[in-house]
Structure 1
């Protein structure tokens, strides 16, 4: 809105009415404007600070979640390596021991895959109504086939059945030169896991012990039904010459603390050793994440200092109690005793708190001693991740400590909402002040303009009167 203040000196009074109005308006505006400006500066800094704090907390939370992963454990005390991962993969648990094992895979465990006879009519071939009984091992699953069913609808019913899905059995349709066949497969492997199909629907009967389509065997015909290629078998392998079998290609019972993943036939050497480097990297990741949060909070709350050590510029959250509450929350779990037997406190791993900065220090030499001399590697997982199914590990305690602040709807979200409301209020206050100042400026300008006009008129009248008296005096003098 353009200012109604008229610039320059008043024509009637000779006064700078514009300057007078401006001074009066500024005097009236100063106190409220200063209050709004200070509030806006504080609010803007707080919004920025809380935003930074939320980012720091999110990064810390994600790191704790990654380190606590159960699918990819980050604190394994031992590491297993295979000389040929294309033949055997291996992972070691914390109960493993150092050693080397020669693993020879003779054959992998296989699953069952069976086919029905061919239907010349394709996927829409009609299927007789009745009961379809699918058997695997000692388990039988009955499926009710309604009237009007087709080969495709039977396949869909098998795949939609919860009990069959839970057993790992699925179906599909494969079409060859003879027609379309219902093919059933299973995720279960090993001898005795063959699938058979019975019931009172004769066209879908499949004898799992009958092998069809085997290499070198009779050629497939339209009526061929049974196990495709071969029946399911156990894996056969040896460890250091000892012959073993397994229904699964994942072998976790043969060597204590070691899980073997059989991939292909052949020989590979599996070595197990202390996972010092891996543990050190994971612990360093934890320390770095903690320090990033702690140092970030300190930066948000510590004012800038001049050469004499006196505060100059306040930080975004200087004087705010929230950052200190978060620091207190994450420091608590560090001092709690862990769930381990020999390893119970972080100091045993060389992790200590800097008394000046509050950050964590990680002593590599002390860590190496704990791993090599005190043999604590197997307990690091328990200290950080806790017992299986429990929340007594350091990572879980950390996640629990920050949850009230970082969770959706938590303290940080509430603070952000409050600050945004304050921002809106300050904006409304500024708009209201601007409207009031515009009105005041218009009123004062009109008054001073009217005053200037009146003074101008009075001057003109005075000038006329003076002229009249001067004229009268001149006439008297000349008479």
Structure 2
């Protein structure tokens, strides 16, 4: 608001202070009302943000709870971690197995004779390689060295599983071929066709030495022999994959396969925790403090009542599991007097052990299952353009209206100030004129002849 500079020269009044006081008296109540409305709208926007965040976290907690794989499958436990790892699929069955890893599968290795210069040309021709019935070949130019041949073998697009390398020993260098796959089925056969019989290409590759024989993995499972070309055993135990890492025929490892309970319990605990946090947030935003006789920012709000009603109804509802209808209480999850959830671990463990199918269907049934139903309720409030967004936008519009009202009030008060200033200045001018006239009249009276002035 512009400052008032009138001094009241004619009347002696402080016109600026008078105008400011009158303007403030008119403006202050309206400003206070706008401030209160703005504070209320701002606090409700903040409260709705907190509410939306709590519901979103709850909906996120339902993601794993709604997946069938969370409740399926088996876990494995080993008495010794030195000889293999084990993973179990849904096709596995609970059981215990005694496993001895007698021998690991190994790849065959072949070596050429020794050469003293790996850059020396070996002669032209071709090399053919066969592994488990598949073959490929490389052409050798007359100036190709041992190094060049290594590159040609490894870079061949149709290479069927052979890796070449050079080993530099004290006596010289040797080219070593390694089968990429373990087991006796993957032995390497090499045939060198040299353009010149007796060339180094001919003598090196047609007289290769086996420096490491291929081996099959040998494992005893509950005394039964299992052999494999690979160190990964997929079918030795139904639904269980064994990855062999070491061997010792004198060591026995006990493998226990059991129904997986850790993942579903973690998912259920996360759901319960998120639900309780959400309901605590809802309660805090809508409660009334009897001691201070003040209500929370969303006390009595219809949206709050709707959220509480919808979730509590869903939490206590029965759901079809295919084997009949069940509720959370069937799995040891109950509602407390405060409206939160708590878990009876023993009852949940019993359900996971004896009613896994029903429990899985209860939580994961598409569209009609527990997780899907609660997710739909939560998303109706949190999705873009959803209920909470609409409420938030209404308060944002209210803040815009308050800002507009402040501008109108400022314009109105500026006009009011100008009008008062003009009125008081006019009054001041008139008083000044009257004072001047009074002084003039008094001076003329004083100048009349025969007038005796009484100075006492």
TM-score range, shorter chain: 0.5 to 0.7
Structure 1 residue 336, shift from structure 2 partner: 4.7
Name 1:425's counterpart in structure 2: 400
| 1:4–1:272 Cα change, 3 Å | same
| 1:352–1:253 Cα change, 3 Å | farther
Give the gaps of 5 or more residues in structure 2.
Answer: 120-127, 137-147, 195-202
Distance in 2 (CA, whole Å) between partners of 1:322 and 1:137 is 70
TM-superposition CA deviations, 1:88-138 (whole Å, max 9, x none)? 3344567766542211223456789999xx9x89xxxxxxxxxxx999879
Residue 80 of structure 1 is aligned with which of 70, 76, 79? 76
Structure 1 residue 454, shift from structure 2 partner: 0.8
Structure 1 residue 45, shift from structure 2 partner: 1.5
Name 2:96's counterpart in structure 1: 100
Larger Rg: 2
Residue 58 of structure 2 is aligned with which of 49, 57, 60? 60
1:25 aligns with 2:1: no
| 1:379–1:86 Cα change, 3 Å | farther
1:477 aligns with 2:447: no
Q: What TM-score results when the alignment is normalised by the length of structure 1?
A: 0.63
Distance in 1 (CA, whole Å) between partners of 2:107 and 2:352 is 43
Structure 1 residue 81, shift from structure 2 partner: 1.3
Aligned alpha-carbon RMSD (Å): 5.6
Name 2:125's counterpart in structure 1: none
How many residues were matched structurally?
A: 422
1:303 aligns with 2:252: no
| 1:270–1:95 Cα change, 3 Å | same
Name 1:209's counterpart in structure 2: none
TM-superposition CA deviations, 1:217-246 (whole Å, max 9, x none)? xxx979999999666x76432221112245
Residue 467 of structure 1 is aligned with which of 426, 438, 442? 442
| 1:411–1:452 Cα change, 3 Å | same
| 1:316–1:453 Cα change, 3 Å | same
Give the gaps of 5 or more residues in structure 1.
Answer: 122-132, 142-149, 204-219
SS in 2 for 1:335: coil
Residue 328 of structure 1 is aligned with which of 310, 316, 331? 310
SS in 2 for 1:328: helix
Name 1:314's counterpart in structure 2: 296
Deviates more, 1:416-425 or 1:267-276: 416-425
Distance in 2 (CA, whole Å) between partners of 1:272 and 1:230 is 35
Distance in 1 (CA, whole Å) between partners of 2:361 and 2:402 is 53
| 1:229–1:42 Cα change, 3 Å | farther
Q: What TM-score results when the alignment is normalised by the length of structure 2?
A: 0.66
Distance in 2 (CA, whole Å) between partners of 1:468 and 1:417 is 76
Residue 89 of structure 1 is aligned with which of 70, 85, 88? 85
Taking the TM superposition and a 5 Å limit, the aligned residue runs for 1:258-273 are 258-266=240-248, 267-273=252-258
Distance in 2 (CA, whole Å) between partners of 1:272 and 1:16 is 96
| 1:468–1:69 Cα change, 3 Å | same
Name 2:378's counterpart in structure 1: 402
